[in-house]
Chains A and B, each alone.
Chain A
Amino acid sequence: MSAWIRQHWQAVVLGFRKLSVLNALVIGIALSLPAAGYALIDSLRPAGERLALEPRISLFLAPQARRADAEALGTRLRADRRIASVRFVPREEALKEMSEVQGLSEVIGALGRNPLPDAFVVTSKQDIAGELAKLPGVAHVQADAVWARRLAAAASIAQLGVGVLAALLGAALVAVTFNTIRLQILTQRDEIEVSKLLGATDAFIGRPFYYLGLLQGVAGGLLALAIVAGALALLNREVRVLADSYGSNFRFEFLPLSEAALVVLGASVLGWLGAWLSVGRHLRAIEPT
């Protein structure tokens, strides 16, 4: 083994020994907030995109509308070239779907009669909701496109928020590391002073501290991912119930592997940065007298 590798390995071992679980935990919790926020937004994005790509418009007929009128309207909708697809949802089917939803069947049973109207679900890339509302027999129109726009706006605000949070907590990580290394240098003052007297270079003395900062960042990053994974698993247990009730298989997804790696990499770089700032400032100040 070459001397260079051996010296670095020694520094890694020394850095690792000084690693404090508590510090790593502080960093981990701090980083888990933006990481979790990112995972949540990332999971919601496909839903939002689908909504925006294929906007659905629901046409609800008047509750007392006759089936023949509904069929006539259906024919008219199918003939419209701007409309990509038309699906008729009879009031019986709507009731059946609804009663399959947990907890709602009892409510529906209590009503005694079917309160739901017949409905058409159409998809169109064009904004024709207003026009459809004027068709005879249509009581109410609900367009997803509006919701898609609102969701997109909300998502970009949330994304900005996560970005700001990540920047702030990244700075906190640098500060925590800076202070950790400062305290380490102070507790090892005697050893550093003696080492300098015996001919140790600043690079040699600083090396374990650089590795400590780096390892602390890595440990914090890994802990953050573990916290996010645990939180999402808990959240998904509840989300499953809710999503199933809408016939959706939506789940919050963990960060993609590349982005999880980026969290750890970013944390290690920031940890190294904190160590670098701290070593540069505090190691020079210790000189034998």
Chain B
Amino acid sequence: MVSFSAVAKRYPGGQEALKDVSFSLEAGELAFLTGRSGAGKSTLLKLIPAIERPSAGSVVVNGQNIASLKRAAIPYLRRNIGLVFQDQKLLYDRSVFDNVMLPLAFSAHAPKEAARRARAALDKVGLLGREKANPIQLSGGEQQRVAIARAVVNRPAILVADEPTANLDAESAVRILEIFVAFNQVGVTVLIASHDRALVERYGKRVLRLEDGRIA
């Protein structure tokens, strides 16, 4: 589903975020990506939805090579990848419900079907009762759950989360991870970056450790 081979990423200015990264994630697998801040976790995750392109090596996602992907094809790649960010990236000028509806607008679902899907996604993260609220009224953990609902509403095959629990208390963090595990159980491939090794190791899942631009 996701395959990195000999991937390097250098930023303009010479900073080398990734030196030689190789690993692959099978369909339906859940893996954690750990490492200290600045180890290159975010860079690695950004290569999957083609936010960044590799400087060398190949990244293949869902059978598509990111390095050679045409600009116009990127939106269609991203529709099949659910992205969750540390800072949620919610839109605060609209309700929770409309935030979750956003990805459905450009994949052209009929309005009723779209609304049904958005409610189903909110239900899965336990926020069906808060759909009319503005995200700003929600706690950090709840906002992260809205972001997850938005990420999964298009039923993507892959979920990628960059430090989704970094700003949350332990209880909320566990709840978020439980949601990811639940999606994984229904067949979604999940990759979660986290610097919290203690939390990660509780799940007994595969852990990719990124050190100095390499998988250790």
A→B interface (CB under 8 Å): 3-4, 6-7, 10, 190-191, 193-202, 204, 287-289
New contact pairs (16) apart from A6-B108, A198-B154, A199-B107, CB-CB < 8 Å: A3-B108, A4-B108, A7-B105, A7-B106, A10-B105, A191-B91, A193-B89, A194-B91, A197-B49, A197-B83, A198-B78, A198-B102, A199-B78, A199-B79, A200-B105, A202-B75
B→A interface (CB under 8 Å): 49, 51, 72, 75-80, 83, 89, 91, 93, 102-103, 105-111, 150, 154
Bound-state CA distance A151–B154 (Å) is: 70
Contact between B51 and A198, CB atoms less than 8 A apart: no
Task: Using known A-B contacts A190-B91, A201-B75, determine if residue A195 contacts B102 with beta carbons closer than 8 Å.
Answer: yes
Bound-state CA distance A201–B106 (Å) is: 8
Task: Using known A-B contacts A3-B108, A199-B107, A289-B51, determine if residue A194 contacts B102 with beta carbons closer than 8 Å.
Answer: yes
With both beta carbons as reference points, the residue of chain A lying nearest to B52 in the complex is identified as: A289
- Which single member of B77, B89, B107 contacts A194 (CB below 8 Å)? B89
Bound-state CA distance A79–B77 (Å) is: 94
Contact between B106 and A199, CB atoms less than 8 A apart: yes
Contact between B107 and A197, CB atoms less than 8 A apart: no
With both beta carbons as reference points, the residue of chain B lying nearest to A205 in the complex is identified as: B106
Contact between B51 and A288, CB atoms less than 8 A apart: yes
The 4 closest A-B pairs by CB, nearest first: A199-B79, A3-B108, A199-B78, A200-B106
Bound-state CA distance A289–B12 (Å) is: 14
Bound-state CA distance A180–B116 (Å) is: 36
Bound-state CA distance A200–B72 (Å) is: 10
Cβ contacts under 8 Å, B91 to chain A: 190-191, 194
18 A-B pairs, CB-CB below 8 angstroms? A3-B110, A7-B106, A191-B93, A195-B102, A195-B106, A197-B51, A198-B79, A198-B102, A198-B150, A199-B75, A199-B154, A200-B75, A200-B105, A201-B72, A201-B75, A202-B72, A204-B106, A289-B51
Bound-state CA distance A199–B103 (Å) is: 7
Helix, strand, loop or mixed for chain A's interface?
Answer: helix
Task: Tell me, rounded to whole Å, the shortest Cβ–Cβ distance linking B141 to chain A.
Answer: 20
Task: Tell me, rounded to whole Å, the shortest Cβ–Cβ distance linking B11 to chain A.
Answer: 11
Cβ contacts under 8 Å, A199 to chain B: 75-80, 103, 106-107, 154
Task: Tell me, rounded to whole Å, the shortest Cβ–Cβ distance linking B37 to chain A.
Answer: 17
Bound-state CA distance A199–B75 (Å) is: 4
Bound-state CA distance A195–B83 (Å) is: 12
Cβ contacts under 8 Å, A287 to chain B: 51
With both beta carbons as reference points, the residue of chain B lying nearest to A4 in the complex is identified as: B108
Bound-state CA distance A197–B85 (Å) is: 11
Cβ contacts under 8 Å, B154 to chain A: 198-199
Cβ contacts under 8 Å, B76 to chain A: 199
Bound-state CA distance A193–B105 (Å) is: 15
Bound-state CA distance A191–B105 (Å) is: 13
Bound-state CA distance A194–B89 (Å) is: 7
Task: Tell me, rounded to whole Å, the shortest Cβ–Cβ distance linking B107 to chain A.
Answer: 7
Bound-state CA distance A103–B134 (Å) is: 73
Contact between A197 and B106, CB atoms less than 8 A apart: no
Cβ contacts under 8 Å, A196 to chain B: 75, 78
Cβ contacts under 8 Å, B102 to chain A: 194-195, 198
Bound-state CA distance A287–B150 (Å) is: 20
Contact between A198 and B108, CB atoms less than 8 A apart: no
Contact between B108 and A7, CB atoms less than 8 A apart: yes
Cβ contacts under 8 Å, B103 to chain A: 198-199
Cβ contacts under 8 Å, B105 to chain A: 7, 10, 200, 204
Task: Tell me, rounded to whole Å, the shortest Cβ–Cβ distance linking A95 to chain B.
Answer: 78
Cβ contacts under 8 Å, A194 to chain B: 89, 91, 102
Task: Tell me, rounded to whole Å, the shortest Cβ–Cβ distance linking A199 to chain B.
Answer: 4
Bound-state CA distance A289–B46 (Å) is: 8
With both beta carbons as reference points, the residue of chain B lying nearest to A200 in the complex is identified as: B106
Bound-state CA distance A204–B76 (Å) is: 12
With both beta carbons as reference points, the residue of chain A lying nearest to B150 in the complex is identified as: A198
Bound-state CA distance A197–B93 (Å) is: 18
Bound-state CA distance A4–B93 (Å) is: 26
Task: Tell me, rounded to whole Å, the shortest Cβ–Cβ distance linking A289 to chain B.
Answer: 7
Bound-state CA distance A40–B102 (Å) is: 51
Cβ contacts under 8 Å, B93 to chain A: 191
Bound-state CA distance A123–B77 (Å) is: 82
Of listed A191, A197, A199, residue having the most chain B CB within 10 A: A199
Bound-state CA distance A239–B114 (Å) is: 62
